[in-house]
Amino acid sequence: MRWVAFFTCLFLGVLCAASVRAEDDAVVSRLIPFDSLTITNRALAHDVTDRPTLHCDYPAETFKGRIPMFEYLFDHMDSCSALAQKEGLITYRATRDAENRLHADDHDGAAGYMINVYAGDGKRVIYVAGTQHGLFDASGRGVAVVDYHAKAGDEIEYTRTAFVKVDNVVLATMAQMFSIFLHGTVDKHFAKLIRNPVLLSERAQSDPQKLLDLIAQMPVADQQLMAPFAELVRSNASVRVAESNRPL
């Protein structure tokens, strides 16, 4: 009887997944500008979003920062991870390979790579592939969408959406029915993805000199890696001083 109940649940899970697929397709089309992606990147994204195991939406969040620095850190995760490691936010670094993929191993069960498949005004789309070891060992792929815009008072508001496909068929079906298992893992890794660009953008806005001093303490190779970002921080600091000295 237990096996009958199990397979009944699997069958119902598949039916439920099919019933929401049309709605998910409409959501995906609104979120991802497929026509603006390269043929290769379009195929990577469609491979995940056409039949995702899980679709996660997150509420809007805000932080203090400026768009140019946030975008630079998001688009250069190797630089971002080097500075985050120096700041003590993480203990590992992302490295870029010859195919422009960023690889990382968080030494906490997760390892994989990411590709920025779309960078447009107020939107970034990231493709991620990797493995997660823990209670269950799973491999899979994901597409993360981050939409953002500047608000008054040097604030940035952003929203996040994730689509995930688990490679193991049985595990994927179970995850659709009992999504709390997979949802927690997705939440954790999406939070990691966005956390460092957000925190470092905030610090560049609140105390630019402290961040510049930190970069100056890095090895020469890392200082060269961080040079474009350091220039952005200096430029932003100069603009803020000019704005504060402007007559009312």
Contacts of 131 (CB under 8 A, 6+ apart): 110, 111, 112, 137, 138, 139
Q: What is the CATH number that goes with domain 2-241?
A: 3.30.530.20
Most confident of 114-128, 129-143, 166-180: 114-128
Query: Is 119's pLDDT higher than 60?
Result: yes
Helix axis angle, 77-87 relative to 67-75, nearest 10°? 100
Q: Is the pTM of this model over 0.85?
A: no
DSSP state of 36: G
Question: 131 near 139, Cβ under 8 Å?
Answer: yes
pLDDT averaged over every residue in the chain: 80
Which pLDDT tens digit goes with each residue over 224-248?
Answer: 999 999 999 999 887 665 555 565 5
The more confidently predicted of residues 218 and 10 is 218
- Give the domain ranges of the chain: 2-241
User: Which pLDDT belongs to residue 167?
Assistant: 76
Confidence category of residue 102, pLDDT binned at 50, 70, 90: confident
User: Which pLDDT belongs to residue 66?
Assistant: 93
Please give the backbone phi and psi of residue 4, each rounded to the nearest 5 degrees, phi first. -60, -45
Which tokens hold the place of 151? 């608000």
DSSP state of 99: T
Residues 81, 195, 82: CA angle, nearest 5 degrees = 10
